[in-house]
């Protein structure tokens, strides 16, 4: 369709209004940079104030704490880049664990059957979240708030109806348990340090999510549907499918976290998980995700989770009055949001 | 470019009504390769209905719509796109926070293997395609939101051209822009024409239309009130026709003083931008 | 091929689970109420409402309800349960019970001030009120007949004494809900009688992995810790895990009771449990209201009736094992 490219390329003239971007400036444009600076500062800070903070074991504990938030923050950050929230993410973890536990227990089946059923059920829940959002056109905040309450209620209602108790019976003596524990909740020794397997899964998920976001068509679509859904639709991006897939991504990590919960602690409290959804969102926001969508990174969310884990445990290591924990949390969130605002303003100067 | 083939797009006696409201009645229009047709009209004149029909968003109720001599009834914008008719809407369908190259290829990403993007190719292509349109971007990795309104418009146009558009429909591309920015966009319209595309340029500003248009279709209240070749009409007549009929004379008088000044300014601008051949 | 079979099973099973969850979404409570309607009992049929500050799905309150329901079934009482952790909303629920013209109200006074006015309305409407669990101090003042509960400070003190017996020197008190007065009182009570040094540790109770990593972190930071006191049964097992992981020899003890705890008490991984007998709180409160309505009796003569602390150790665990097993202890 083009004419011949005979037209000689115009001599490249540098735009006199802008100087070339230095590598430093380029780095500062990354979404996760604010979080990274924050993480380093916190690390140094706690390193100086808490004696045990800089030991290998402490580091491993912090990584474990970070990973349990971080695994969820991976998918939640993708969802937020795609412009949506999932408030049901916290209780969905519990739902997933309950389904696997009760299914195996009630039918006296191999644990892996419960694990598979749980995966199917949880993914279906994510699909329903996405479908409800797409079909109703309501804000995902409202839709998932609804499913949050429903799941919280169902967790308790079903658990009590089936086992006449609010916690599931221990499944540690059932067949398949030890193998599943190996996969979801074991300890490994790496370089002489005990590391929880969730840390490795977390890092793997961050890597996959980052690759997806930056190197695949799907990732392009995630940014597009979050940045401007009408524009994305106009150029042929399947907006509805992309959003549903993102909700299912959250469901997937909820399933994984649920399996960790189940196999690390044998029995599951049906009331657990409430409130965690906000911590996942906080991790993503600290890590540079915009609340309005279209911007952010999985690595950032991982750093956010690390900051969160570090703050969480750092206060314990420093042996401070734990009453201050939430104060720190709030301060971190504020700082992160301000940094993001600055980044966003720079990105949208001409708007 | 001067083959005597059927025009790329031809509408004959096209009409459209929504319920009992007649939005468009008996409108005809032809666009050939290397030709810019300007559709002029005030708000509510039926411009957007016309675009929606040409771009495949709506179907016409009467008259005929031909593409390269073949009668068509499009079911969706995708159908129109497949026939090489691309529309650049006012909102441009760009995602402000995404890099220029990602926007350029959004929805039509080039891949290597399963799911993997061919980033190098897309960066290079974006850069060269934009260069072809005369836009020299420093960095195709910058968010498209950092570009000026005119530049963004041009990226959208370049994108349509790259993905095989034969006919470009531009919906008020200059409406929200300042004089200088508008001049930049007009320049790319001319470039697109030079590349052999047919352009349907929708605007309500005769001063933007006149320098670049080959033909002018004037709409008022859903009807065509004039269809002129450039050599049949002057800028003043065009402005007059836009305002329409009797009130016009008076308006022309009122405007005279300001008008000539503005016109001179624009033609100077046009000259500066190298559009004098238009 | 094994995987294939599993997949097929999973699909069938999925349908089952969905069906199950859809038909029992409003299950437990209703089913239990149905049961109580058919149960026989003496005297006219009464309607008694219990309004607590419990969060959803709390083991403890589940046992309280079981006790209350058992008494309700025996006494031919229509038992209504509702709960909200927020003081204001709990007051609204009490108001709702008054509007329903119930024959008696059982209420917890975790946030006494929030409930003061609404309890006045209840007594004005001649509805007898019994307080349970928390609020021993305000119970009589607010016009309640009697209070069933454990004095948290006293219970804490008992725990402190127990640790002294075990010879502990440095203890950690794990608070799983920040700002909960009852939990703070327990730790404060334990600190009072404990001869060694005791510190509080705050953990997020709704997130078990966080509970675990926080306890682990605490044990790593304060290596000489030799005793851990958790304030809820599920957290005790987690504390045991953490201690094992760090290689700490800290002795774990806990408040409250559940089935898993019995096993842990027996194998010695948990030293003792301070049980406040929630079943008794529910059972006693319903029974008291029934007695009051049918015979004008007031248990304990209006003085707070203490349901705990009952210390359960390795030696006594066996005796209550069957009860814990069925979820009533």
ipTM reported for the complex, 2 dp = 0.78
Neighbours of B278 (CB within 10 A): 18
Flag whether pLDDT at B134 surpasses 70: yes
Does the residue C228 lie in any domain? Answer: yes
Of residues A1 and C258, the one with the higher pLDDT is C258
Lowest model confidence (mean pLDDT) among A68-72, A295-299, A325-329, B168-172: A325-329
Confidence at residue A37, expressed as pLDDT on a 0 to 100 scale? 79
Top-confidence residue, A246 or A286: A246
pLDDT(B113) > 80: no
| C18 in contact with chain A, both atoms CB, cutoff 8 A | yes
Chain A contact probe: residue of C4, C18, C20, C21 with most A CBs at under 10 A = C21
Please name the helix (run of DSSP H) or strand (run of DSSP E) that holds residue B51, with its range, or none. helix B47-54
- Segment A297-326 shows an average pLDDT of 84
Percent of chain A having pLDDT more than 70?
86
Helical H segments across C24-76, by residue range? 27-38, 59-75
Q: Is A105 on the interface with B (CB under 8 A)?
A: no
Chains near C with 3+ CB pairs less than 8 A apart are: A
Within a domain: A42: no
- Which stretch, A313-322, B134-143, C220-229, has highest mean pLDDT? C220-229
Q: Has residue C42 got a pLDDT over 60?
A: no
Q: Which residues of B touch A237 (CB under 8 A)?
A: 106-107
Q: Are A350 and B147 an interchain contact pair (Cβ–Cβ within 8 Å)? A: yes
Task: State the CATH number of the domain containing residue A148.
Answer: 1.10.3470
Res B5: pLDDT: 65
In this structure, the answer to whether residues C291 and C250 fall within a common structural domain is: no
Supply the pLDDT for residue A8.
41
Report the chain A residue with the minimal C-alpha distance to residue C240. A265
Q: Which domain holds residue A136?
A: 52-341
Mean pLDDT for A303-310 is 89
Which pLDDT band holds residue C283 (cuts at 50, 70, 90)? Answer: very high
Distance CA B205, CA A14 (A): 33
Q: pLDDT band for position A16 (50/70/90)?
A: very low
Helices (H), chain C: 2-23, 27-38, 59-75, 87-99, 112-124, 136-139, 152-166, 181-193, 208-221, 233-246, 259-267, 278-295, 314-325
Per-residue pLDDT at A7: 41
According to the model, what pLDDT value does residue C37 have?
45
Which of the four pLDDT bands, split at 50, 70 and 90, describes residue C188? very high
Q: Give residue C28's pLDDT.
A: 34
Q: Cβ–Cβ of A52/C221 closer than 8 Å?
A: yes
pLDDT score recorded for residue C36: 44
Predicted local confidence at residue B1, as pLDDT: 42
Verify that C69 and C173 share a domain, yes or no: no
Query: What's the pLDDT at A71?
Result: 96
Confidence label for B249 from pLDDT (cuts 50, 70 and 90): low
Containing B261, the helix (H) or strand (E) segment is: helix B246-272
A22 touches chain B (CB under 8 A): no
Is B49 or A260 the better-scoring residue by pLDDT? A260
Average pLDDT rounded to a whole number, residues B252-270:
57
CATH topology of domain B9-84+166-272: Rossmann fold (3.40.50)
A66 within a domain of the structure (yes/no)? yes
Distance from CA of C278 to the nearest CA of A (A): 14
**In a domain? residue A350:** no
A272/C208 CB distance under 8 A: yes
Strand partners of residue C254 = C230, C273
List all chains that touch chain B, counting a touch as 3 or more CB pairs closer than 8 Å.
A
A351: nearest CB among B92, B145, B164: B145
Question: Residue A4 pairs with which residues in a beta bridge?
Answer: none
C287 lies in the same domain as C191: no
- The helix (run of H) or strand (run of E) holding residue C272 is strand C270-275
Position of tokens 């008054």? Answer: C98
Using CA atoms, how far apart are residues B147 and C265, in angstroms rounded to an integer? Answer: 69
- Residues B247-257: what's their mean pLDDT? 57
Residues A217 and B119: beta-carbon distance below 8 Å: no
Nearest-angstrom CA–CA distance, B81 and B87:
8
Query: DSSP characters for A176-224?
Result: THHHHHHHHH-EEEETTEEEEHHHHHHHHHHHHHHHHHHHBHHHHHHHH
Q: Which residue has the higher pLDDT, A45 or C156?
A: C156
Do C93 and C118 lie in one domain? The reply is yes
Q: Indicate whether B184 pLDDT > 70.
A: yes
* Average model confidence (pLDDT) across chain B: 80
Q: How confident is the model at residue A1 (pLDDT cuts 50, 70, 90)?
A: very low
A116-120, B135-139, C82-86, C139-143: which range is least confident on average? B135-139
Whether C75 and C118 map to the same domain: the answer is yes
Name the nearest CA neighbour of B171 among B79, B93, B250. Answer: B93
Better pLDDT: A236 or B213: B213
pLDDT at A21: 54
pLDDT band at B147 (very low <50, low <70, confident <90, very high): confident
CB-CB neighbours of A114 under 10 Å:
29
Residues of chain C with pLDDT > 70, as a percent, come to 87
**Quick check: is A163 in a domain?**
yes
Query: Looking at the structure, do residues C204 and C282 belong to the same domain, yes or no?
Result: no
Kindly indicate the confidence band of residue A351, based on its pLDDT and cuts at 50, 70 and 90: very low
Mean pLDDT of C275-301: 91
Regarding whether C208 and C175 lie in a shared domain, the answer is yes
- Count of structural domains within chain A: 1
Q: Of A311, A317, A305, nearest to A77 (Cα)?
A: A305
Lowest mean pLDDT of A78-87, A314-323, B36-45, C108-117, name the range. A314-323
Mean pLDDT of chain C: 83
C45-67 b/e (C-beta count within 10 Å ≥ 16 → b):
ebebbbbbbbebbbbbbbbbbbb
Average pLDDT over residues B42-66: 85
Q: Are residues C239 and C94 located together in one domain of the fold?
A: no
What pLDDT is stored for residue B77 in this prediction? 75
* Cα–Cα distance for residue pair C240/C228, rounded to 1 Å: 9
Tell me which of B143-147, B244-248, C8-12, C117-121 is least confident.
C8-12
Structural domain spans, chain B: 9-84+166-272
C85, pLDDT greater than 90: no
Establish if C293 belongs to a structural domain: yes
Q: CATH code at C41?
A: 3.40.50.2300
Q: Are B10 and B56 in contact (CB under 8 A)?
A: no
Query: What integer pLDDT is reported at residue A180 of this predicted model?
Result: 92
Among A344-348, C41-45, C91-95, which is the least confidently predicted range? A344-348
Instruction: Convert the pLDDT of each residue in B156-175 to its tens digit.
Output: 888 888 888 889 888 888 87
At residue A217's C-alpha, the angle toward residues A215 and A223, to 5°, is 85
Q: Measure the CA angle with vertex C25, ends C20 and C26; round to 5°.
A: 135
Band of pLDDT at residue A291, cut at 50, 70 and 90: confident
**C160 lies in the same domain as C146:** no
Domain span holding position C215: 152-275
**Residue A80's Cα: distance from chain center in Å?**
9
Nearest to B215 by CA among B132, B126, B278, B168: B278
Asked whether residue C161 is domain-assigned, the answer is yes
> Is there a contact between A52 and C259 if contact means CB atoms under 8 Å apart?
no
- Chain A residue with Cα closest to C236: A265
- Under the banding of pLDDT at 50, 70 and 90, the label for residue C16 is very low
Q: Looking at the predicted structure, is the pLDDT value of residue A211 above 70?
A: yes
Question: Could you say which DSSP state residue B73 is in?
Answer: -
A111-130 mean pLDDT: 96
Write the residue in A155, A271, A319 that is nearest to C221 by C-beta: A319
Is B255 or C22 the better-scoring residue by pLDDT?
A: B255
Q: Which one of B98, B171, B193 would you mutate to disrupt binding with A, by most A Cβ within 10 Å of its Cβ?
A: B98
pLDDT(C13) > 70: no
Is residue A128, in this structure, part of any structural domain at all? yes
Average pLDDT of the residues of chain A: 84
- The encoded tokens of residue C272 equal 């003792």
Residue A9 lies in a domain: no
Question: What is the pLDDT at residue C177?
Answer: 83
A338, pLDDT greater than 70: yes
Mapped onto helix, strand or coil, the DSSP state of residue B202 is strand
Which of the residue ranges C26-30, C32-36, C123-127, C134-138 would you say has the lowest mean pLDDT? C26-30
Tally of domains in chain C:
2
pLDDT of residue C198: 92
Q: In 10 A of CB B106, how many CB atoms?
A: 27
Whether the per-residue pLDDT at B246 is higher than 70: the answer is: no
**Mean of pLDDT values over B104-114:** 84
| Nearest-Cα residue of chain A relative to residue B137 | A15
Of A326 and B254, more confident: A326
Confidence of residue C20 (pLDDT cuts 50, 70, 90): very low
C329 touches chain A (CB under 8 A): no
Tell me, what's the pLDDT at B251? 54
Q: Are residues C139 and C210 in the same domain?
A: no
Would you say residue A259 has pLDDT above 60?
A: yes
| pLDDT surpasses 70 at B248 | no
Would residue C63 count as lying in a domain? yes
Residue C11 has pLDDT above 80, yes or no: no
pLDDT score of C315 more than 80: yes
Which spans in chain A are helix H? 23-28, 33-49, 56-81, 89-106, 111-136, 140-163, 177-185, 197-215, 217-227, 229-234, 239-265, 276-286, 298-317, 325-347
Q: Pull the structure tokens for residue A315.
A: 């206060």
Same-domain status, C37 and C135: yes
């Amino acid at each position: 369709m083009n004419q011949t490219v005979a037209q000689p390329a115009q001599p490249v003239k540098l735009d006199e209004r802008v100087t070339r971007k230095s590598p430093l400036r380029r780095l500062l444009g990354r979404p996760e940079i604010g979080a990274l600076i924050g993480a380093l500062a916190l690390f140094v800070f706690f390193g100086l104030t808490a004696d045990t903070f800089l030991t290998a074991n402490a580091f491993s504990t912090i990584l474990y704490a970070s990973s349990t938030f971080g695994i969820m923050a991976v998918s939640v950050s993708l969802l937020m880049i795609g412009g949506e929230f999932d408030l049901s993410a916290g209780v969905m973890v519990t739902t997933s664990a309950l389904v696997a536990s009760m299914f195996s227990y009630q039918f006296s089946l191999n644990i892996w059957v419960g694990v598979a059923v749980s995966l199917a059920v949880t993914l279906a829940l994510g699909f329903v979240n996405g479908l409800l959002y797409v079909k109703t056109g309501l804000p995902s905040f409202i839709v998932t708030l609804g499913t949050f309450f429903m799941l919280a209620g169902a967790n308790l209602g079903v658990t009590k109806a089936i086992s006449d108790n609010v916690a599931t019976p221990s499944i540690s003596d059932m067949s398949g348990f030890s193998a599943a524990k190996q996969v979801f909740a074991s300890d490994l020794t790496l370089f002489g340090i005990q590391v929880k397997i969730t840390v490795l899964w977390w890092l793997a998920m961050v890597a996959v999510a980052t690759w997806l976001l930056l190197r695949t068509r799907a990732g392009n679509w995630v940014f597009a549907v979050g940045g401007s859904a009408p524009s994305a639709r106009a150029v042929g991006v399947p907006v509805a499918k992309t959003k549903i897939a993102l909700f299912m991504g959250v469901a997937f990590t909820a399933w994984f976290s649920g399996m960790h919960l189940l196999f690390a602690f044998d029995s599951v409290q049906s009331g657990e998980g409430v409130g965690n959804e906000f911590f996942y969102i906080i991790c993503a926001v600290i890590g540079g995700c915009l609340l309005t969508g279209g911007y952010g990174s999985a690595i950032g969310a991982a750093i956010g989770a690390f900051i969160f884990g570090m703050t969480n445990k750092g206060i314990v290591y420093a042996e401070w009055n734990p009453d201050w924990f939430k104060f720190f949390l709030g301060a971190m969130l504020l700082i992160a949001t301000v940094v993001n605002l600055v980044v966003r303003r720079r990105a949208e100067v001409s708007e | 470019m001067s083959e005597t083939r059927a025009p790329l797009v031809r509408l004959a006696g096209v009409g459209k009504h929504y319920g009992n409201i007649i939005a468009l009645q008996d409108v005809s229009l032809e666009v050939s390769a290397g030709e810019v047709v300007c559709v002029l009209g005030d708000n509510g004149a039926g411009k957007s209905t016309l675009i929606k029909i040409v771009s495949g968003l709506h179907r016409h109720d009467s008259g005929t719509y031909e593409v390269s001599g073949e009668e068509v009834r499009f079911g969706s914008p995708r159908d129109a796109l497949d026939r090489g008719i691309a529309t650049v809407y006012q909102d441009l369908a760009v995602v402000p926070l995404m890099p220029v190259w990602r926007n350029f290829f959004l929805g039509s990403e080039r891949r290597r293997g399963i799911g993997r993007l061919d980033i190098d190719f897309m960066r290079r292509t974006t850069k060269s395609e934009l260069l072809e349109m005369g836009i020299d971007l420093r960095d195709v990795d910058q968010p498209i939101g950092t570009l000026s309104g005119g530049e963004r418009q041009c990226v959208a146009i370049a994108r349509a051209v790259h993905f095989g558009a034969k006919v470009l429909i531009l919906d008020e591309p200059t409406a929200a822009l300042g004089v200088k920015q508008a001049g930049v966009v007009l320049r790319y319209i001319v470039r697109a024409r030079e590349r052999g595309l047919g352009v349907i340029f929708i605007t309500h500003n005769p001063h933007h239309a006149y320098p670049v248009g080959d033909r002018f279709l004037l709409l008022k209240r859903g009807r065509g009130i004039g269809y002129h070749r450039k050599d049949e009409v002057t800028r003043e007549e065009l402005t007059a026709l836009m305002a329409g009929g009797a009130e016009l004379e008076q308006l022309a008088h009122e405007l005279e003083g300001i008008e000539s000044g503005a016109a001179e300014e624009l033609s100077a601008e046009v000259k500066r931008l190298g559009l004098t051949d238009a | 091929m094994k995987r294939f079979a599993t997949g097929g099973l999973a699909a069938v099973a999925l349908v089952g689970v969905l069906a199950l969850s859809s038909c029992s979404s409003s299950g437990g409570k209703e089913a239990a109420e149905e049961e109580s309607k058919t149960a026989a009992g003496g005297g006219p049929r009464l309607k008694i409402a219990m309004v607590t500050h419990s969060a959803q799905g709390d083991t403890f309150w589940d046992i309280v309800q079981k006790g209350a329901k058992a008494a309700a079934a025996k006494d031919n009482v229509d038992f209504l349960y509702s709960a909200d952790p927020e003081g204001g909303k709990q007051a609204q629920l009490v108001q709702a019970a008054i509007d329903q013209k119930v024959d008696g109200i059982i209420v917890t006074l975790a946030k006494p001030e929030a409930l003061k006015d609404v309890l006045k309305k209840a007594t004005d409407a001649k509805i007898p009120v019994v307080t349970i669990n928390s609020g021993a101090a305000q119970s009589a003042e607010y016009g309640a007949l009697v209070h069933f509960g454990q004095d948290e400070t006293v219970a804490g003190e008992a725990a402190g004494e127990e640790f002294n017996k075990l010879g502990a020197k440095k203890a950690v008190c794990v608070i799983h809900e920040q700002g909960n007065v009852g939990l703070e009182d327990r730790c404060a009570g334990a600190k009072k009688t404990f001869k060694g040094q005791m510190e509080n540790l705050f953990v997020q109770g709704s997130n078990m992995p966080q509970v675990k990593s926080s306890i682990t972190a605490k044990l790593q930071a304060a290596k000489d810790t030799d005793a851990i006191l958790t304030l809820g049964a599920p957290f005790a097992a987690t504390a045991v895990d953490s201690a094992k992981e760090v290689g700490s020899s800290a002795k774990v003890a806990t408040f409250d009771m559940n089935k898993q705890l019995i096993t842990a008490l027996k194998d010695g991984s948990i030293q003792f449990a301070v049980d406040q007998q929630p079943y008794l709180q529910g059972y006693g409160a319903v029974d008291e209201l029934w007695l009051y309505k049918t015979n004008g009796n007031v248990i304990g003569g209006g003085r707070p009736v203490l349901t705990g602390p009952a210390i359960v150790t390795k030696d006594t665990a066996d005796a209550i094992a069957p009860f814990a097993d069925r979820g009533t202890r």
